[in-house]
Amino acid sequence: MRKEHKKMSLAARRRNVAGYLFIAPALIGMSLFYVFPMLFSFGTSFTDWNLMTTPSFVGGDNYMELMNDSVYLKSIRVTFYYTLLAVPLSNIYALLMAMLLNAKIRGRSVVRTIFYVPSIVPAVASAGVWMYIFNPYNGFLNQIFLQLGFDPKMWIYDSKQVIPCIVAMAIWAAGGTAVIYLAALQGVPSELHEAVAIDGGNGLHKFFYITVPMISPIIFYNLIMGVINSMQVFTQGYIMTDGGPNNGSLFYVLLLYRRAFEQTKMGTACAMAWILFFILGILTLLNFALSRKWVYYGG
Amino acid sequence: MKSHKKNRTIKRMFLWTAIILVCIISLFPFYWMVRSSLMTKTEIFGTPMRWVPEVPQWDNYSEALTRIPFMRYFWNSFLLVILNIVGKVLSSSLVAFGFSRIEFKGRNIWFALVIMTMMIPWSVLLIPQFMLWSQVGLYNTYFPLFFPAFFVDGFYVFLLRQFFATLPREYDEAAIIDGAGYFQIYSRILLPMCKPALMTVCVFTFMNTWNDFIGPMIYLKDTDKFTVSLGLQQFISQYTTEWHYMMAAATVAIMPMLVMFFFAQRYFIEGMNFAGVKG
């Protein structure tokens, strides 16, 4: 009996050692590249540090200063404005694309490829191409506007139009989300749609009473990921407009980048990062709280 | 009966109109990029605009490629892609194997923590990771751009763990009876069976590394170390009005991604489906 017990614990010990050996890369990686940097950044956010001198402790000054920094507050407004437009619109467009793909059509895989391609090309390259399309002097949009007799616009060079333009690019690249929606649509049992048809429902009834509730967990997932990604939008603002005009596209992370790498205000930049982390946390929790009202998780 | 059929034809027409419209929206920027990359400067600025170049200017490509050492950047990007693929495949498969095949103490907590790394915004890690790398003297090297790949990636660990879970446990038990250890079960038996899932890891790592701009921008200083994305950004900021060269450079930068995508799109779709299922 005792011998048996000892044998068991030996096997258990062997499993423990082997298990931790296998997950060792993750444990090392989490401490080196997540836990340690985050603690370091949290500490730095309470200091004044330009990388050259030794950091000096300033308490909550960095946070306080940000609250009165009009450029910073502007970047928050710009980023929220972008997120509020980009997330719903690109999700609606993606769902529309997924429904087109879900119809029984010929050449579906070709069409799916075409829908998907904009989302896989380098952001730098698509930013370059869209810069040219939006160019006020010889870009495609104004050339078309002139031929149709409309007034040309300044597009990304107008502080009011720049965010809708960048939102349009996000919508254009929503193919990845569409593929996720397609998988969800294919999981909706067709009997449910037939039942609605028997009860005399039309296409809209099917969509709102069957499709939306059945795929609501995926909608929820895409909204959460969409908010997290949109709140951290950077490349378009950096390459196409450099935050302008008149700080009209000064996204949060772009300002964070400038504070850290152009002005080397590491304390302020870290404080900004933590405030963003906090905002994203609140938004995600809010999403979860609201999800109880509309997300349907099977039987 | 007849009106029903007519109704369906109209529906089909609407459907295809919408599909073709979305296809045009998706493809137009690419068409415009290639069209402009083959034009002369006067054609670019000429009015009324032309839809196709009068004579394709293939020289634009050689000009764009010599203005900036693109061949060098291609090689750099490929090197980083390979290193990242090796790192992610090795680390994610080892970690996923541990989580799915070995019952050890604390397994569920650690797994939850690994998954939670996915939720941490990259912008929070950006600055402290940069400070870390420059403190150890590895700024302006490739280390920050590939070394972390050898440790942890929550998404791929989750994906591979789910895949391992579909493989029957009987394989492990048979191997244990034959005297194999955990590492043999991992390397000889399970790894060869999860090739499709590993391919998904490869194609997404390829895409993320090739398209990454912020990483190379922050960590690389010497121009001869630049990647394609970073080189293209330099090109865009230097030759702001020479759209024909810029579009040629963009076309070249996109090409490897497109070629890879057309050969491996099955794995892309599978990975995207997986992303949705877990939600």
Residues of A in contact with B182 (CB under 8 A): 18, 22
- The rounded distance, in Å, linking the Cα atoms of A86 and A163 is 9
- Give the model's pLDDT for residue A203: 79
Quote the minimal CA–CA distance from A258 to chain B in Å. 11
pLDDT at A1 over 50: no
* Closest CB to B247 among A36, A122, A132: A132
Taking an 8 Å cut-off on Cβ atoms, the answer to whether A38 and B124 are in contact is yes
- The rounded distance, in Å, linking the Cα atoms of A54 and B43 is 57
Residues of B in contact with A28 (CB under 8 A): 151
In a domain, A143, yes or no: yes
- Give the model's pLDDT for residue A108: 87
The single-letter DSSP state of residue A56 is E
Residues 6+ apart with CB under 8 A from B87: B146, B147, B148, B149, B150, B151
Q: Does B24 touch chain A (CB under 8 A)?
A: no
User: Same domain for A88 and A175?
Assistant: yes
User: Same domain for A179 and A272?
Assistant: yes
User: Same domain for A181 and A245?
Assistant: yes
User: Same domain for A99 and A30?
Assistant: no
Tell me if the bond preceding B256 is cis, omega within 30° of 0: no
User: Same domain for A88 and A164?
Assistant: yes
User: Same domain for A84 and A11?
Assistant: no
Q: What is the largest CA-CA distance in chain B?
A: 79
Judge contact between B171 and B216, C-beta under 8 A: no
In a domain, A214, yes or no: yes
- The rounded distance, in Å, linking the Cα atoms of A217 and B44 is 47
- Give the model's pLDDT for residue B268: 85
Which CATH number goes with the domain that contains A289? 1.10.3720.10
pLDDT at A3 over 80: no
- Give the model's pLDDT for residue A91: 97
In a domain, A52, yes or no: no
List all residues of chain B from 161 to 180 with a beta carbon under 8 Å from chain A: none
- Give the model's pLDDT for residue A115: 94
Instruction: Return the percentage of chain A with pLDDT > 70, whole number.
Output: 97
Q: Where are the domains of chain B?
A: 2-59, 67-277
CA distances (Å), origin B234, targets A168, A237, B75, B250 = 24, 15, 17, 12
Taking an 8 Å cut-off on Cβ atoms, the answer to whether A111 and B26 are in contact is no
pLDDT at A280 over 50: yes
Q: What is the mean pLDDT of residues A283-292?
A: 89
Q: Which domain holds residue A221?
A: 62-294
User: Same domain for A74 and A28?
Assistant: no
In a domain, A54, yes or no: no
- Give the model's pLDDT for residue A25: 96
How many structural domains compose chain A?
A: 2
Give the CATH number of domain B67-277; options: 2.60.40.10, 1.10.3720.10, 3.20.20.150, 3.40.50.300: 1.10.3720.10
Residues 6+ apart with CB under 8 A from B124: A38, A41, A273, A274, A276, A277
Q: What is the mean pLDDT of residues A45-63?
A: 90
User: Same domain for A81 and A107?
Assistant: yes
Quote the minimal CA–CA distance from B133 to chain A in Å. 10
User: Same domain for A29 and A154?
Assistant: no
Query: Which residue of A100, A110, A129 to mutate against B (max B Cβ within 10 Å)?
Result: A129
* Closest CB to B19 among A100, A137, A221: A100
Taking an 8 Å cut-off on Cβ atoms, the answer to whether A131 and B236 are in contact is yes
Residues in chain A: 299
User: Same domain for A148 and A280?
Assistant: yes
Quote the minimal CA–CA distance from A262 to chain B in Å. 11
Judge contact between A255 and A71, C-beta under 8 A: yes
Give the ipTM. 0.90
In a domain, A245, yes or no: yes
Which residues of chain A form beta strands (DSSP E)? 47-48, 56-57
Q: What is the mean pLDDT of residues A129-145?
A: 91
Quote the minimal CA–CA distance from A249 to chain B in Å. 17
Averages of pLDDT over each 10 residues, chain B, 279 residues: 75 92 96 94 82 90 89 95 97 95 92 91 92 92 96 92 87 85 89 90 94 95 94 90 91 92 86 67
- The rounded distance, in Å, linking the Cα atoms of A233 and B123 is 10
